[in-house]
Amino acid sequence: MAVYDPKSLKAEEFINDEEILATLAYADENKHNVELIDQILEKARPKKGDKGYVCQGLTHREASVLLACDIPEKIEEMYKIAEEIKMAYYGNRIVIFAPLYLSNYCINGCLYCPYHLKNKHIARKKLTQEEVRAEVIALQDMGHKRLAIEAGEDPKNNPIEYILDCIKTIYSVHHKNGDIRRVNVNIAATTVENYRKLKEAGIGTYILFQETYHKKSYLELHPTGPKHDYDYHTEAMDRAMDGGIDDVGLGVLFGLEMYRYEFAGLLMHAEHLEAVHGVGPHTISVPRVKHADDIDPDAFDNGIDDDTFAKITACIRLAVPYTGMIISTRENQTVREKLLRLGVSQISGGSRTSVGGYTEEERPHDTEQFDVSDQRTLDEVVNWLMQNDHVPSFCTACYREGRTGDRFMALCKSGQILNCCHPNALMTLAEYLEDYASPETKKNGYEMIERELERIPREKTREIARRNIEDIRNSNRRDFRF
Ligand code: SAM
């Protein structure tokens, strides 16, 4: 029997079934233990230190007690603290990105994904480098600076060389004032050697969703193909970090298994990365299963309602305060609006989940991975964020200045975010307004920039940011950063 050990490199020991079951039992026993719940909430609350706010985070056991708790006032308090943490670390900035689907060829048999091998009627498509260029131009013309590339697993059609070629092409396109400054990668688990190649190609975050931490369900949900290997998949982030990638993104696909099990597993994975590599995940994504070609989300028994989804998001925010949280266009505007307040720091906008979708006039459905709920244009998303007092940020400075892994975490903890990330966000927003925005968004955007510049504490930084924004408005000079 595997014994729980966060420092172990064996999947069954750091994501330990017995420990998760014991955690869920502990959470059930204590879900109405108000004294303990108050202690946990107090621990999670941001405290003012010498250099700004300090957050302790929570263990998977503590956070699981909060998730199990159904006392309405305590849930309200969780939401309040999640918002406080979000404002303390991330402020009101929301980073924007878009997915870019390279290929939907796949040899896996994932039961929730329409790209599974047995799906013979879905159109299979793989972008040529010329098509990648065209997609990137379309994305740059929308205003995107940050992409997440997506591909099915197929060593013949999508070998690592193909992915590397695509990354090279993406970074090489500079259309008008546009460029893609950070490419995050969401491809199947691979070898240390391949992760090293991705690192050398200049990727940002390596993202891999666990789908489910429940091994038995995992094996059933991935009946065929290389992804069937639970251990290889679960240990991928350790290989990625061994290959030199220090920003990794975790996620589970909510709906496949019991959400409380997934939640505990997700936090144990984060604790494991911290214990072994000294740095936790850069981001956590919270996707829910969606309808797609031959996939019916109701076929899975563990769908979660919007309130539970909000509670999960808030509890993640309390447990891992320094980890970015991502929500995609799988969710509609209303859900996104609520979750943004509870700790989400990155969203996608104007997304198309089909291979080659951005160059089409109409949203194509033939190669789509899942239905997009939020179908607004990027300009509409940017304007909506600002109307809700969030600063849309196209910033990619940290990774380009080498502030990744523990160096990014150090910036978070140093209280310097308002002197660094905030001006960077405002300067990249000005680029968007100047080059891509509609007149209304532009007007609202510059009003927001005026207000938000005042929030930069250091006078010198504020002056430089103001000057750079003037430059952006009056010239083609771009890409200023702190
Ligand atoms: N092929 C890679 C892999 O196996 O990890 C990653 C790319 S896949 C295009 C990205 C993610 O989409 C998957 O990890 C899965 O969680 C999610 N996904 C697949 N089918 C989905 C569905 N029907 N609804 C929502 N998300 C889905």
pLDDT tens-place string over residues 354-392: 999 999 988 889 999 999 999 999 999 999 999 999 999
pLDDT computed for residue 50 by the predictor: 78
pLDDT computed for residue 51 by the predictor: 75
pLDDT computed for residue 149 by the predictor: 98
The dihedral through the CA atoms of 36, 41, 44, 47 has a sign that is: negative
Q: What is the pLDDT of residues 437-453, one digit of tens each?
A: 999 999 999 999 999 99
**Among 101, 112, 113, which is best to mutate for testing ligand 1, by the most ligand atoms less than 8 A from CB?**
113
pTM as predicted: 0.97
pLDDT computed for residue 79 by the predictor: 98
CA 146 to chain CA centroid, Å, is: 12
pLDDT computed for residue 456 by the predictor: 93
90 contacts: CB under 8 Å, gap ≥ 6: 324, 345, 417, 421
382 contacts: CB under 8 Å, gap ≥ 6: 96, 143, 349, 392, 432, 437, 441, 445
307: exposed, middle or buried (Cβ count in 10 Å: 0-12, 13-18, 19+): exposed
Q: With H, G, I as helix, E, B as strand and everything else as coil, classify residue 47.
A: strand
Which protein residues are within 6 Å of ligand 1, measured from CB?
112-113, 150, 152-153, 186-188, 208-209, 211, 227, 253, 287, 289-290, 292, 295, 330, 369-370
Q: How far is the CA of 210 from the centre of ligand 1 (A)?
A: 10
Task: Name the H helices within 402-482.
Answer: 405-414, 417-435, 439-453, 459-474
Which DSSP state fits 92?
T
Q: Is the pLDDT of residue 405 over 90?
A: no
Candidates 482, 362, 471, 353; CA nearest to 422 is: 482
Q: What is the average pLDDT across 300-328?
A: 96
Q: What is the pLDDT of residues 72-89, one digit of tens each?
A: 999 999 999 999 999 988
Candidates 372, 378, 371; CA nearest to 394 is: 378
Determine contact, residues 307/339, Cβ cutoff 8 Å: no
Q: How far is the CA of 305 from the centre of ligand 1 (A)?
A: 20
Q: With H, G, I as helix, E, B as strand and everything else as coil, classify residue 99.
A: strand
pLDDT computed for residue 49 by the predictor: 82
pLDDT band at 431; cut points 50, 70, 90: very high
Residue nearest to atom 18 of ligand 1 (CA): 113
Q: How far is the CA of 98 from the centre of ligand 1 (A)?
A: 15
Q: How far is the CA of 251 from the centre of ligand 1 (A)?
A: 10
Distance in angstroms (rounded) separating the CA atoms of residues 115 and 103: 10
Distance in angstroms (rounded) separating the CA atoms of residues 74 and 70: 8
Q: Concatenate the DSSP letters of all residues of 314-373 into one string.
A: HHHHHH-TTSEEEE-TTS-HHHHHHHHHTT--EEE-S---STTGGGSSS---TT-SS--S
Q: What is the pLDDT of residues 189-237, one digit of tens each?
A: 999 999 999 999 999 999 999 999 999 999 999 999 999 999 999 999 9
- Ligand 1 atom nearest to 288, measured from its CA: 25
Distance in angstroms (rounded) separating the CA atoms of residues 310 and 325: 13
Q: What is the average pLDDT across 241-259?
A: 97
Q: What are 290's two structure tokens? A: 């969606």
